[in-house]
Structure 1
Amino acid sequence: MGKIYVVGLGPGNVNCLTLGALDRLNSGYINILRTENHPTISYLKENNIPYESYDYVYEEKENFKEVYNYIVEDLIRKSEEYGVVNYFVPGNPLVAEKTVEILLDYKKEKDIEIDLISGMSFIDPILVAVGHDPVKGLKIIDGLNITGQKVDINTANIITQVYNKRVASSVKLYLSEIYGDEYEIYIVNSVGIEKEEEIFKIPIYELDRCDTINHLTSIYIPKVDKINTKIYDMNDLLDIIKILRGKEGCPWDREQTYLSIRESVIEEAYEVVEAIDEDDMDSLEEELGDLLLQVAFYSEMANEDGYFNIFDVTTGICNKLIFRHPHVFKQKKVEKCDEVVYNWNEMKFKNRNIENYTGRLRSVPKLPSLMRSYKVQKRAADVGFDWDNIYGAIDKVKEEYLEVIEEVDLCKGGDIERVEEELGDLLFAVVNVCRFSNVNPEVALNKAINKFIKRFELMEIKSNELGKDFREMTLEQMDILWNEVKNT
């Protein structure tokens, strides 16, 4: 069984080398560096301390994953060959050192002994340089995985491994989407190294224009000042709702219940759809915020009552998405979009303990009637209860139309329930034609309504030009105006 001493070389200043690191350097065992590109290495050269490095691996391998895996496997091999190996890494072994992370994972599976000898992290001199107390909040992010780790606007962030302009450019694009182009950040170079350390403030848009970016570059992002910089995230939304619902909050917000604001959910959802239909991105941004407010508001009320909180909501939907996408998360092969939808529905029914086909129809929620009929018909069609083609659906519309005429003629306003029933059948049949045409009936009807309102507006404008009021016009006169605006 071999033993690997993992030793931190500190941020770069020789004075930051610990006694433990010096002891390992002079122990007589083989010294291996992850990289020779570190200021402290001058001390080894000046004192004739022998070493070898893995810098050559970076040239031979195609990506960092291959580099790190090779280093770990080679270290284990050398430890078995030499008995003891000293492995030196920049800074602190447990801060932004992927090879150490992989080594510790190996330790759980293989018969190797690993001893960590700490060193000063580059984080410490950065905090000194920018004057930040980490107790006030700090998040450290790998610049090579910034989209995976994500910045937090409600705390300070340090982004590491911004070692060239390519990485800086990708970081800039990511930060601009959150903070905006003008938000000021700090470039921190060679911290802890005497006469080489530099720190300066720039707006985000200048990040990839800096000529001083190198392998010892990090970025410090101050916490967002909510007074002067209006950037908020989901946590801020939840905090605001807590304040509004609190004792010193808003009387109206405190009085709301699950039932009192349920219509708001429907209203906001329809306003989102309207913004989409009108291709109005500014309105869509606003309406999505209003819809998100409903989710957050309900989650806060449920949290107050001890039912669930926003984390239960997000956990539930994430688990559902992962479970219903095995072709993405569990490597199940799916060829077509239709197969994805089929698998999604089958897993949904299974998860809800729906064991028969009628149950699938009944499980369609009480949506607006056009949407609900569309979904019910789709589920019936999924099990084979459907017309062979659209012409069967069209013939059904004709049949139901004649039955409506028959009932209207028979009843003459007497048996309204029979007319209502036949009109319902007609609408249901029309929805079936929509389904065959891949047309959402709710969207189609809304477009028809909007078209009617627009034409009505044009009719009113023309009537005003004629000096006539709608109420004074005959139906025939109105019909003439309608035909005029139909083609405009």
Structure 2
Amino acid sequence: MTHRITIVGLGVGELEQLPFGIYRLLKNTTQPVYLRTMDHPVVSELAAEGMNFTSFDSVYERHSRFEDVYTEIVEELLRLSKTTDIIYAVPGHPLVAESTVQQLLERTDAVDVVGGQSFLDPMFAALGVDPIEGFQLLDATAFTVDEAQIRQHLLIGQVYDALVAGDLKVQLMERYPDEHLVTLVTAAGTSKQTVQSVPLYELDHVTTLSNLTTVYVPPVTDEQTLNRDFATLKEIVARLRGEGGCPWDQEQTHESLKRHLIEESYELLEAIDLQDDNLMIEELGDVLLQVMLHAQIGLDEGYFDIRDVIGSVSDKMIRRHPHVFGETIVDSSADVVSNWQDIKAQEKPERTSLLDGVTKGAPALMRAEDIQKKVAKVGFEWSDVEGALEKVIEELRELKEAAPEERLGEFGDVLFSITLVGKYLGLSAEEGLQQTNDKFIRRFTRMEQLADRPLVEMTLEEQDSLWHQAKQEEQS
């Protein structure tokens, strides 16, 4: 015979607010009654009328995490129900913000749920908020700020104490203004109900926190804060491309935006080299804008949108990191790279050549580096850097002797060979040339500053003297 667990909701108020059917069930039952907690207004009144019960309050004292508390309560309830029918009573409604109930429903079919008033109705009444405007109900003990929809009413339950409130405050301040007014409602719908509003930064200073406390965070209306929300950027780009938007944005295509993405990417690289955080924020935003424009064009044409883009990269990251999201074990970053390449090879369509995956649109020096790394995997390379250096000398000689119509090809051979030297020395030709470009700009700019007249009026010897002076200043 299967014994059953009857889960009863005690509501949120005192005894007179308890539905008569539930009151009669609790008063007349011969089954043992177990309470998740005695810390509820109706429990003391039922006890005064002679009701007998056992609470799980002692379980809270044995664990530091609520997850562990709930797990032990569920295990104990399942054990008790093996020998007899039992009643399990919880605050509010059993199906609203009750982790133990959800776990029981997942573990067994021998469960009957008897409703009770949830705290939501008296909560909205206390706040004067209409839930049809849109709201979220979240758990403070498992809260992550990225879940919060800042344009909606936000209710965060189980704000038990100052420690929970402090953690909650720190997370909320990542997305809400420090002065954003929040409201704490305790024992909503009872004669002991309290409502207190404080600035967000004072959330953990309130002294009336208990297991009956819920924090209400109103929607954000501040434009500066809303502008930091991803949804705002999506709306801005859609408006720019939409009817009545910007003619320039409306005319753009994937092809016309290609050069802009490259330009913005290089400006980001410059900001990284300058180690300028504010400039990095700006340039990362410009790169993100390019991504958003491409995604909006995809949506306008009916092929894809930004959710497809995000979903694709999320799936890929999970798939290519089995050591993080799966059971694979790695010992070093080299193992990670090896796994990545193996998984990547399985994802790509079958290729006929080792070089099929070389990106055609990459800068030439970077493309040369990629080619050389790939062919090295099958042993097509010099045994050491000396062979590569000799190849540079050979290519320089051929360039010197080449006919005019052959010079471009021979010049390319020289650059390719120099790039190969960089591979053996562990140096990037692209980064090395960028560094030299920057150095040349610095020194030439200093030449202009040192000159007593326009450089165009100087002889090459005079210009060369200024160059060496600028070089010496830089090296001193």
Name the SS of the counterpart of 1:199 in structure 2: strand
Contact 1:24 1:86 in 2 (8 A): no
Map of 1:135 onto structure 2 = 132
| Distance 1:256-1:228 versus aligned 2 partners, 3 A rule | closer
1:284 corresponds to 2:256: no
Alpha-carbon distance between aligned partners in 2 of 1:365 and 1:170, rounded to the nearest angstrom: 49
Name the SS of the counterpart of 1:88 in structure 2: strand
Map of 2:362 onto structure 1 = 367
Name the SS of the counterpart of 1:178 in structure 2: coil
Map of 2:321 onto structure 1 = 325
> What does the per-residue CA deviation read over 1:255-276, in whole Å, with 9 as the maximum and x for residues that have no partner?
2222222211111111221111
| Distance 1:373-1:403 versus aligned 2 partners, 3 A rule | closer
Map of 2:43 onto structure 1 = 41
Contact 2:354 2:375 in 1 (8 A): no
Alpha-carbon distance between aligned partners in 1 of 2:16 and 2:377, rounded to the nearest angstrom: 73
| RMSD, aligned CA | 2.1
Alpha-carbon distance between aligned partners in 2 of 1:381 and 1:13, rounded to the nearest angstrom: 78
Name the SS of the counterpart of 2:221 in structure 1: coil
- The one-letter code matched in structure 2 to 1:45 is A
Map of 2:411 onto structure 1 = 423
Contact 1:35 1:54 in 2 (8 A): yes
1:307 corresponds to 2:303: yes
Name the SS of the counterpart of 1:193 in structure 2: coil
Map of 1:481 onto structure 2 = 466
- The one-letter code matched in structure 1 to 2:162 is K
Map of 2:210 onto structure 1 = 214
Alpha-carbon distance between aligned partners in 1 of 2:112 and 2:65, rounded to the nearest angstrom: 28
- The one-letter code matched in structure 2 to 1:309 is D
| Distance 1:476-1:171 versus aligned 2 partners, 3 A rule | same
Alpha-carbon distance between aligned partners in 1 of 2:201 and 2:288, rounded to the nearest angstrom: 30
| Distance 1:383-1:137 versus aligned 2 partners, 3 A rule | farther
Map of 1:167 onto structure 2 = 164
Alpha-carbon distance between aligned partners in 2 of 1:383 and 1:78, rounded to the nearest angstrom: 66
Map of 2:106 onto structure 1 = 105
Alpha-carbon distance between aligned partners in 1 of 2:117 and 2:224, rounded to the nearest angstrom: 35
1:294 aligned residue (290, 297, 322): 290
- The one-letter code matched in structure 2 to 1:460 is E
| Distance 1:395-1:133 versus aligned 2 partners, 3 A rule | same
1:191 aligned residue (167, 170, 188): 188
| Distance 1:250-1:425 versus aligned 2 partners, 3 A rule | same
Contact 2:354 2:374 in 1 (8 A): no
Alpha-carbon distance between aligned partners in 2 of 1:12 and 1:406, rounded to the nearest angstrom: 93
How high is the TM-score relative to the length of structure 1? 0.91
1:265 corresponds to 2:273: no
Greater CA drift, 436-445 or 91-100: 436-445
Alpha-carbon distance between aligned partners in 2 of 1:216 and 1:442, rounded to the nearest angstrom: 61
| Distance 1:380-1:228 versus aligned 2 partners, 3 A rule | closer
2:115 aligned residue (115, 118, 123): 118
Contact 1:142 1:149 in 2 (8 A): no
1:396 corresponds to 2:385: no
The alpha carbon displacement at 1:249 in A equals 1.9
Question: What 5-or-longer segments of structure 2 have no aligned partner?
Answer: none
The alpha carbon displacement at 1:232 in A equals 3.5
1:248 aligned residue (232, 244, 249): 244
Map of 2:342 onto structure 1 = 346
Map of 1:3 onto structure 2 = 4
1:470 corresponds to 2:455: yes
Alpha-carbon distance between aligned partners in 1 of 2:94 and 2:433, rounded to the nearest angstrom: 64
| Distance 1:124-1:78 versus aligned 2 partners, 3 A rule | same
Contact 1:4 1:114 in 2 (8 A): yes
- The one-letter code matched in structure 2 to 1:429 is S
| Distance 1:432-1:206 versus aligned 2 partners, 3 A rule | farther
Contact 1:2 1:76 in 2 (8 A): no
1:449 aligned residue (414, 437, 440): 437
The alpha carbon displacement at 1:406 in A equals 4.1
1:46-125 aligned at under 5 Å gives the runs 46-61=48-63, 63-82=65-84, 84-107=85-108, 112-125=109-122
The alpha carbon displacement at 1:354 in A equals 3.3
User: Percent sequence identity over matched residues?
Assistant: 37
Name the SS of the counterpart of 2:280 in structure 1: helix
Question: What 5-or-longer segments of structure 1 have no aligned partner?
Answer: none
| Distance 1:460-1:15 versus aligned 2 partners, 3 A rule | farther
Map of 1:458 onto structure 2 = 446
> What does the per-residue CA deviation read over 1:378-413, in whole Å, with 9 as the maximum and x for residues that have no partner?
23334444445xxx23541343234313431x23xx
| Distance 1:157-1:469 versus aligned 2 partners, 3 A rule | same
Alpha-carbon distance between aligned partners in 1 of 2:314 and 2:330, rounded to the nearest angstrom: 20
Contact 1:349 1:360 in 2 (8 A): no
The alpha carbon displacement at 1:163 in A equals 1.2
| Distance 1:399-1:438 versus aligned 2 partners, 3 A rule | closer
Contact 1:4 1:86 in 2 (8 A): yes
Contact 1:168 1:208 in 2 (8 A): yes
- The one-letter code matched in structure 1 to 2:98 is E
1:200 aligned residue (196, 203, 222): 196
1:179 aligned residue (176, 181, 189): 176
Alpha-carbon distance between aligned partners in 1 of 2:73 and 2:293, rounded to the nearest angstrom: 51
The alpha carbon displacement at 1:123 in A equals 2.4
